[in-house]
Amino acid sequence: MNRRNILWSIVSALGAAFAASRANAATEAKSDKLKVVYHLSDAEKVNFVLGNIQNHIDGVGGPDHVTIALVIHGPALKAFHLAQANPDVSKRIGDFSRDGVELAACGNTMKAQNITLTDLLPGFVSAEKGGVVRLAELQSQGYLYLRP
């Protein structure tokens, strides 16, 4: 009888330890920030995509609760030229930059438009290998892909 009690105690302790480790793993998984990459190439969708990003940040309770990247290539990049950007776009990009949103401009598009990072609104980085390559890199790092 004593052996049975000892065995039951060991099995119970192991079960409790396993349950506690699973609960810990579930809590840690929930605390991981969601990672999302937005893809923008259509000039007519610039304001729509910027609005989606702001709604995303607001919807999760602020920039501390999500990691967002915006990859821009093609005709949409012209909306972010420092000399041509409208004040609303400039303000949003400044806010996103302060919130930690990665703002990646396609290196191939920059070459095609004959511009450098200094020609773009502050906060941009160059996706030197290309916008589509940067999108694939981010997806391989666990980012969810959104193309509104």
Widest CA span of the chain, in angstroms? 86
Kindly report the pTM of this predicted structure. Answer: 0.79
Contact 101, 43 (CB under 8 A): no
Structure tokens at 107: 């290196």
Q: What is the pLDDT of residues 50-83, one digit of tens each?
A: 999 999 999 999 999 999 999 999 999 999 999 9
Cβ–Cβ under 8 Å, residues 132 and 73? yes
CB neighbourhood size of 43 (10 A): 12
At a CB cut-off of 8 Å and minimum separation 6, what does 112 contact?
Answer: none
